[in-house]
Amino acid sequence: MEELRFDGRTAVVTGAGGNPGLGRAYALLLAQRGANVVVNDIGTVPEVPAYEGIASPEAVAEEIRAAGGKAVADGNDISTEAGAQALIATALDAFGGVDILVNNAALCIMAHFDVMTSRHLQRIIDTNLMGPVWTSRAAWPHMKAKGYGRIVNVGAAVFGGNMLMSAYGVSKGGLFMLSQALAVEGEPHGILANTVNPIGYSRMVPALQQDGAAMLKMLRDNFPAEASAPLVAYLAHEGCPVSGDCFDAASGKVSRTVVARNQGFTEPGHTVETIAERWPEVMATDDLTVIEKIPLAADQNEVRPYSEYAEG
Ligand SMILES: NC(=O)c1ccc[n+]([C@@H]2O[C@H](COP(=O)([O-])OP(=O)(O)OC[C@H]3O[C@@H](n4cnc5c(N)ncnc54)[C@H](O)[C@@H]3O)[C@@H](O)[C@H]2O)c1
């Protein structure tokens, strides 16, 4: 098969300054395949002091340039609207546009739901969920004007719920829906949005694991950060065949995560007792239908015009 390339495309990868780091792996692969890359990273995560070293977007951009690629560094904080706009401005100034946005920056703090401080909880949502909202909104008008865009939101395999990760799980679950929403909104404009849930050894992994050298070695040996880069690149490519979908990549395995609904039961006028009696049908998993993207509404004339809403 012919090599899938990104010549002439500009990619913004957030949180790509860590080494080892998943964002760095995405930036290196896209650059190696010809993309201009904006390597974003805030550099430090003060809330998680156990991070080893600081992430350096300059170092990763330099690594790309040293290998013959095109890259610039960006140190904006994507958790704020102003930071996200400044990041996209970096792409416009350096390369004249933005075709690909990989929303990879995130932080994780592990604590029970009732123990985590409000400030930490807010910081996680602001970075992991609102960051991609702000960067996508900042890139959107440029992608829309060009009739082309690829957004890859980096989620996590948090479905099923993870102990000590309520805020992180909420943020990553939100990204799943963000991709679906942007896929529907982006369809008329040539903008595709998907989610990738990776697993890979990065600075985040030892920062969260207090001990367990054997576990860390196993992760380092078997889950290299680079392993999820081909899937991210595929979804960022012009030939990407899907939008609004969610995939998993780890240690050489690539798979799809879906939301499904069963047939349940239909009984008009049912009572509380009916539900108790027919509960097995509500819980059945032998008749699942995958919920695919909702097609565009053909006629939105009956929707209240946005201009009628108050700013509040
Ligand atoms: N490592 C894994 O196994 C794993 C598993 C599931 C999901 N993920 C996700 O993959 C992505 C990359 O994670 P990683 O493991 O490489 O972690 P990492 O901590 O090494 O990389 C994240 C980077 O984001 C940067 N960052 C944090 N807040 C930022 C902000 N406000 N603005 C700009 N940059 C900011 C950090 O400095 C860091 O370098 C994250 O979204 C993470 O949630 C990782």
Per residue in 97-113, pLDDT (tens digit) is 999 999 999 999 999 99
pLDDT of residue 298: 56
Which residue CA neighbors atom 42 of ligand 1 most closely? 106
pLDDT of residue 16: 98
User: Ligand 1, closest atom to CA 83?
Assistant: 32
- The response to whether residue 199 sits with its C-beta less than 6 Å from ligand 1 reads yes
pLDDT of residue 114: 98
- Per DSSP, the three-state class of 117 is coil
Distance 218 CA to ligand 1 centre (A): 20
- The response to whether residue 193 sits with its C-beta less than 6 Å from ligand 1 reads no
Distances (CA, A) of 42 to 182, 200, 203, 274: 25, 20, 14, 55
Q: Indicate if 168 belongs to the active site.
A: yes
pLDDT of residue 194: 98
pLDDT of residue 212: 75
Q: What is the pLDDT along the chain (312 residues), one digit of tens a residue?
A: 999 999 999 999 999 999 999 999 999 999 999 999 999 999 999 898 888 888 999 999 999 999 999 999 999 999 999 999 999 999 999 999 999 999 999 999 999 999 999 999 999 999 999 999 999 999 999 999 999 999 999 999 999 999 999 999 999 999 999 999 999 999 999 999 999 999 999 999 888 887 678 888 888 999 999 999 999 999 999 999 999 999 999 999 999 999 999 999 999 999 999 999 999 999 999 999 999 877 666 566 678 889 999 988
Distance 283 CA to ligand 1 centre (A): 36
- The response to whether residue 129 sits with its C-beta less than 6 Å from ligand 1 reads no
- Looking at residue 163, the DSSP 8-state letter turns out to be T
CATH of the domain at 177: 3.40.50.720
- The response to whether residue 57 sits with its C-beta less than 6 Å from ligand 1 reads no
Task: Classify residue 3: in a domain, yes or no.
Answer: no
User: 121-135 pLDDT, tens per residue?
Assistant: 999 999 999 999 999
Q: CB of 98 within 8 A of CB of 12?
A: yes
- At 32, list the tokens: 């190696």
Task: Classify residue 79: in a domain, yes or no.
Answer: yes
Task: Classify residue 24: in a domain, yes or no.
Answer: yes
Instruction: Please choose, from the candidates 167, 81, 182, the residue with its C-alpha nearest in 3D space to the C-alpha of residue 125.
Output: 167
- The response to whether residue 97 sits with its C-beta less than 6 Å from ligand 1 reads no
Is the preceding omega at residue 224 within 30 degrees of 0, hence cis? Answer: no
Q: What is the Rg, in whole angstroms, of the alpha carbon atoms belonging to the chain?
A: 21
User: Ligand 1, closest atom to CA 103?
Assistant: 41
Distance 68 CA to ligand 1 centre (A): 26
- The response to whether residue 180 sits with its C-beta less than 6 Å from ligand 1 reads no
The Cα 248–Cα 244 span in angstroms is 14
- The response to whether residue 203 sits with its C-beta less than 6 Å from ligand 1 reads yes
Task: Classify residue 92: in a domain, yes or no.
Answer: yes
User: Ligand 1, closest atom to CA 22?
Assistant: 16
Task: Classify residue 273: in a domain, yes or no.
Answer: no
- The response to whether residue 36 sits with its C-beta less than 6 Å from ligand 1 reads no
Give the range of the structural domain holding residue 182, as residue numbers without chain letter.
10-257
Task: Classify residue 49: in a domain, yes or no.
Answer: yes
User: 255-294 pLDDT, tens per residue?
Assistant: 999 999 999 999 999 999 999 999 999 999 999 999 987 7
Distance 204 CA to ligand 1 centre (A): 7
Count of the separate structural domains present in the chain: 1
Query: Which residue bears the tokens 């998680």?
Result: 48
The Cα 221–Cα 2 span in angstroms is 30
Task: Classify residue 265: in a domain, yes or no.
Answer: no
Task: Classify residue 300: in a domain, yes or no.
Answer: no
pLDDT of residue 65: 98
- At 252, list the tokens: 């050489």
Q: Which of 26, 51, 148, 168 is catalytic?
A: 168
Which residue CA neighbors atom 1 of ligand 1 most closely? 200
Single-letter code of the amino acid located at 108: C
